[in-house]
Amino acid sequence: MATTESSVKNVTQQIQGGSRKRAVKGPDPRLKQAQRAAILLKHVSDPTRLQVIQLLSDGEQHVGSLCDRLNQSQPAVSHHLALLRHGGIISPRRQGKNNYYSLTDKGDDLARVVKSLVV
């Protein structure tokens, strides 16, 4: 009798999925890569930020120079620069009271992509 009850219990669990264990897979590397790419693209999903990347592809620039060339206020440009910096696209250099920005390797790659798309 105990065997019959045990068998019934096992069959019930199998039907309900209780005793079946599914293999747990690790995260798909393509998903991780797509997620990182989506975050990166969010950082550059603004025309002003794309202009900053294009301007910095010519070399390091002072914040004031970027403001003049973009025809935007310093707080507005600083906001865009902060987003690009957090995305690892640009890097700052401070000299006295002045901040200068240049592209990182990732930023250089993005600048090449942007230039190739606009041609």
Q: What is the CATH number of domain 47-119?
A: 1.10.10.10
Ordered by start, the domain boundaries in the chain are 47-119
For the cut 80, the answer to whether the pLDDT of residue 119 exceeds it is no
For residue 8, what pLDDT is reported? 45
DSSP 61: E
Mean of pLDDT over the chain: 83
For residue 117, what pLDDT is reported? 86
Residues in the chain: 119
For residue 57, what pLDDT is reported? 95
Written as one letter, the residue type at 13 is Q
For residue 80, what pLDDT is reported? 96
The pTM (predicted TM-score) of the whole model is: 0.71
**What's the CA gap between 67 and 26, in Å, rounded?**
46
**What's the CA gap between 32 and 6, in Å, rounded?**
44
User: What is the tens place of the pLDDT at every residue in 20-57?
Assistant: 555 567 678 899 999 988 988 888 889 999 999 999 99
For the cut 70, the answer to whether the pLDDT of residue 78 exceeds it is yes
DSSP bridge partners of 91: 102
User: Cβ contacts of residue 72 below 8 Å, gap of 6+?
Assistant: 48
Mean per-residue pLDDT, 3-13: 49
